[in-house]
Amino acid sequence: MLKLQSPRSTEFPIAAGDLEESGSESTDSLRTQGVTFQSCAAEPLREISLNDPDPFFLYQANPNLQHEPYPKRFTVLTWNACAISFPLHIHPAKFVVGLILGCWWHDGHCDVPMRLDQDSAQARFARQAAYIQDSGADLVLLQEVLSTLMVQSLMRHLSDFDHTYLTSSPKPAAWVLWTGFVVLVSLVQSILIKVPFYALTATEGVWLSFFVRWMILATILALRWRNSVPAHFLLGDVAGQLVVLRRKESKALAGAEFGAEGFEIYDAGFRAERHHNPPNKPESAIEASSWLNVFFNVRPRGVLRVRVPLKRAARPAVLTLLNTHMPHNCDNSDLLQSLGRFAGDLAKQGPVILAGDFNPLPDIPLQNQLDPLLQNGLQVAGGLDDEFCTWDLNQALTRENAGTPRTMQLDFIFHLCPAARVARVGASDVCTGLGGSDGGHGSIENCGSYDFLDLTALRTTIADQEKFFCEGDPLSDHYGLISEFLID
């Protein structure tokens, strides 16, 4: 069951919520005071000069453009915030010893903090928020945002943004996996505690006593680990781990109707509704491992659909934003074909931007893998001739494996606007909004006469990759990809 998390601006208290309903609070507070940051976290972005022969965001640097009554330009950032880096950099034996002691040991220089309520994790959220803020993006598509707790930790530092996402309940299999893991670790603890004293406590009630101690230890572990990254990875309530932010001061993106409208799970139903066997389907030697298949079933991935009002001169318009995180180490050609058709259907009502982490395979040319999207009319912001490597093996959090054996581009921004109709509203016209009847707004057919709305990608680049190399303070395993768009 999906629940809508309405866009809002909230000043969060120091006490943040746990795995509870969106907007609720817990007495388990997150410690955010006394956190120290490296100086690089506060460094501003490089200044963009109007004399720069190739400034990226000329629109933001030019005050004349900023004061247009109806600005036509806005920027979009897609970024995988990296919830966990696997495998961990510490030795497996050390990690197991830490678990038996009730701790999530990890390498602070090359791993993500393993508990969301640690000071180091809160410091990382603050740095991630600064990265988003300094990027200058008007729309931000985030992946691997595990739960409401993580959203609140980020938004505490992003008061200039609205945010929206959908919530979902954990699957029963996720509860089974997490409960089984906690029970298994507590069993090992109980055995290690009991064995040395077994000879001294060998009485008739020894096994009853052992079971009681076991359950007590399991309860302690469950409480101690409730804010751990693995717990939120399995039981987190953010649908698809996908969140979208909108900058409040953006002049091109204004309106109270900003919000998530739906989440499509990448399941057999999504494929069946729109599936046609793609021609020249690429083949890869890489296949998803069994544990990955289990994960995709326990914590399904999909695409989040968000409604973004566009501010136009007497012409209401809506941009549909699609945020996705594709399965990795998998042949996603069928999914991409269905996703392309899904975006094409939405583009009949207005412009569409599709962005996220697409996890392309390394042994197939990008053109071939993304062809299902291109065939449905989507265009790649920045093109495919120049590779924007958002996955860099020089980073501390990246891992070299069969799916990512080299530095490569994993994140993309697509746009589509074929014959998108926009209503011209006169003084006597009445129009309550655009979109389908399921969104609760007026039909586009009832809004007067129409013309065409064009969406053009002007520039695309990687956002501030130098901020990812603060020693001992890893930010993410992905660089953010940012594009500037012109809408007319």
Question: Maximum CA pair distance of the chain?
Answer: 91
| Whole-number pLDDT of residue 3 | 60
d(CA 157, CA 128): 9
pLDDT, residue 477, reads 95
The pLDDT score that the predictor gives to residue 41 is 38
Least confident of 13-22, 282-291, 459-468: 13-22
Considering only residues 285 and 123, tell me which one the structure prediction assigns the higher pLDDT. 123
The label of the residue with tokens 């994960």 reads 295
Other CB atoms closer than 10 Å to residue 405's CB: what's the count? 12
Among 35-44, 126-135, 189-198, 399-408, the range scoring the smallest mean pLDDT is: 35-44
Task: Give the chain's length.
Answer: 488
Percentage of the chain with pLDDT > 90? Answer: 54
Give 32-61 pLDDT, tens digit per residue. 333 333 334 334 433 333 344 444 444 444
The pLDDT assigned to 40 comes to 41
Spatial separation of the C-alpha atoms in residues 375 and 423, rounded to whole Å: 28
pLDDT of 50 reads 35
Greater confidence, 125 or 450? 125
* Beta-carbon contacts of residue 19 (< 8 Å; ≥ 6 apart): 147, 148, 149, 226, 231, 232, 235, 236, 237
Element (H, E) at 78: strand 73-80
Residues 153-212 have pLDDT tens digits of 999 999 999 999 999 999 999 999 999 999 999 999 998 887 766 655 555 556 668 888
Higher pLDDT, 40 or 241: 241
Contact indicator for 232, 30 with CB cutoff of 8 Å: no
Reply yes or no on whether the pLDDT at 358 is more than 60.
yes
The pLDDT-based confidence of 402 (bands split at 50, 70, 90) is: confident
Strands 352-357 and 317-325, how do they pair?
parallel
Identify the pLDDT of residue 474. 87
Ranked by mean pLDDT, the top range of 64-78, 272-286, 423-437 is 64-78
Average pLDDT in the chain: 79
Split at pLDDT 50, 70, 90, the class of 453 is confident
182 and 100 Cβ atoms separated by less than 8 Å: no
Give the integer Cα–Cα distance in Å for 196 and 200.
Answer: 9
| pLDDT score of 275 | 56
Residues 335 and 342: their CA atoms lie apart, in Å, by 10
Backbone φ and ψ for 429, nearest 5 degrees, come out as -85, 150
Quick one: pLDDT at residue 10? 39
d(CA 193, CA 18): 31
Neighbouring C-alpha atoms within 13 Å toward the C-beta of 187: 6
CA distance 14 to 32: 7
* Residue with more model confidence, 403 or 293: 403
Please name every residue paired with 303 in a beta bridge, in sequence order, or none if there are none: 264, 324
Average pLDDT over residues 386-398: 93
Q: Is 452 or 362 the better-scoring residue by pLDDT?
A: 362
pLDDT at 314 over 50: yes
What pLDDT sits at residue 213? 87
What pLDDT is stored for residue 172 in this prediction?
Answer: 92
- In angstroms, rounded to a whole number, what is the distance separating the alpha carbons of residues 453 and 312? 11
More confident residue, 68 or 354: 354
Instruction: State the DSSP string of 193-229.
Output: HHGGGTTTS-STTHHHHHHHHHHHHHHHHHHHTTTBH
Which pLDDT belongs to residue 287? 63
Question: How far is 184 from 186, CA to CA, in rounded Å?
Answer: 5
> Mean of the pLDDT values across residues 337-362?
94
Domain architecture of the chain: domains with CATH: 68-168+237-487 (3.60.10.10)
User: What is the mean predicted confidence (pLDDT) over 3-20?
Assistant: 44
pLDDT band at 426, cuts 50/70/90? very low
Which of the pair, 272 or 123, is modelled with greater confidence?
Answer: 123
d(CA 226, CA 179) in angstroms, rounded, equals: 11
Please give the DSSP secondary-structure letter assigned to residue 302.
E
Confidence class for position 277, pLDDT limits 50, 70, 90: low
Q: Cα–Cα distance between 343 and 32 in angstroms, integer?
A: 40
Are 385 and 344 in contact by the 8 Å Cβ rule? The answer is no
The winner for highest mean pLDDT among 69-78, 298-307, 463-472 is: 298-307
> How far, rounded to the nearest angstrom, does the alpha carbon of residue 392 sit from its chain's CA centroid?
19
Instruction: Please enumerate in sequence order all residues whose Cβ is within 8 A of that of 205, keeping only pairs 6 or more positions apart, or say none.
Output: none
pLDDT at 364 over 70: yes
**Both tokens assigned to 55:** 């400034």
Q: What is the pLDDT of residue 434?
A: 35
